[in-house]
């Protein structure tokens, strides 16, 4: 392929956690609506084991996935963990039913959430603990003070944020080093472009959730067209674009099937041409 580009396949979080940029998001190994146990428990375990076999050493989860189910499955499948495996989890969302996600970033609640995550994952310290959402009902500084405290106590190594603005990142930086930002972002959803650029400039990991946004039919057609050149699916091209977009972007596509996991991982070996990257850059944004 003419004018092929190259990209780094690893990234170092917080200066000391080097991970494969193709990670795994463990939300989908739960039941429908991200509620309860998976339909196929054995396949969920196979997915987790296969992810490590492929070379994935960054797994993203949350106490609210299930709730608790995702963390429990990770420990069941992978504990004792490989030495290089980084497990990132989150706190700040509660669950009242399928597809329902009330926010609670009150320090008392977060304390219980963190203690639960440590117990379920069988860890003494979380490598990357992320605030799942800023709570409009709780003073932001109170949440930040909690995160600062548990880091000082050694319960978490590094701290990240999710669905935050540049201003919220900068406010948090007054309390601790923000090493990751997890916002919704994809080839056709770029609401958080300023935040991506801020993370690039400040060497903060940017972890796009919903990296394969299905809301834009025009984008899908373009992704399929480009995919034909590389014998790749639209999903693989969407993931590859993110890998090319910036060296600090870590991918966490989620799936409950080994076959899909392996297909996603192949995106790591696609080197898009400069011309195709330019075409993808010009995709019209979806509002979904």
Q: Active-site positions?
A: 65
- Residues ≥6 apart with Cβ < 8 Å to 149: none
Backbone angles phi, psi at 216, to 5 degrees: -125, 105
| 244 within 8 A of 6, measured Cβ to Cβ | no
Of residues 55, 28, 20, the one with CA closest to residue 243? 20
DSSP 199-232: HHHTT-EE--BS-S----HHHHHHHHHHHHHHT-
Q: Reduced to 3 states, what is the DSSP secondary structure of residue 8?
A: coil
Helices and strands, number each (H, E), in the chain:
10, 9
Closest C-alpha among 128, 194, 116, 124 to residue 155: 124
Neighbours of 219 (CB within 10 A): 22
């Amino acid at each position: 392929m003419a004018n092929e580009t190259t990209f780094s396949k690893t990234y170092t979080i917080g200066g000391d956690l080097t991970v494969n940029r193709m990670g795994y998001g463990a939300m989908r190994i739960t039941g429908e609506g991200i509620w309860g146990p998976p339909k196929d428990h054995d396949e969920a375990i196979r997915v987790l084991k296969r992810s490590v076999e492929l070379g994935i050493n960054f797994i993203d989860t949350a106490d609210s996935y299930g709730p608790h189910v995702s963390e429990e499955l990770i420990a069941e499948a992978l504990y004792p963990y490989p030495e290089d495996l980084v497990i990132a989890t989150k706190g700040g969302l509660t669950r009242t039913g399928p597809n329902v996600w009330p926010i609670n970033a009150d320090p008392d609640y977060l304390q219980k959430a963190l203690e639960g995550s440590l117990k379920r994952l069988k860890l003494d310290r979380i490598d990357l603990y992320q605030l799942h959402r800023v709570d409009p009902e709780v003073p932001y500084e109170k949440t930040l003070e909690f995160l600062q405290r548990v880091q000082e106590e050694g319960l978490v190594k590094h701290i990240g944020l999710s669905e935050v603005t540049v201003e919220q990142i900068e406010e948090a930086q007054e309390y601790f080093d923000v090493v990751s930002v997890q916002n919704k972002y994809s080839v056709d959803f770029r609401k958080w472009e300023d935040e991506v650029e801020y993370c690039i400039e400040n060497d903060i990991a940017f972890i796009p959730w919903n990296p394969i946004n299905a809301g834009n039919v025009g984008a899908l057609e373009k992704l399929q067209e480009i995919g034909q050149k590389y014998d790749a699916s639209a999903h693989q091209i969407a993931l590859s674009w993110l890998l090319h977009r910036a060296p600090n972007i870590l991918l966490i596509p989620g799936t409950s099937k080994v076959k899909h996991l392996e297909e996603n991982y192949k995106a790591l070996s696609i080197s898009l041409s400069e011309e195709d990257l330019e075409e993808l850059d010009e995709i019209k944004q979806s509002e979904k």
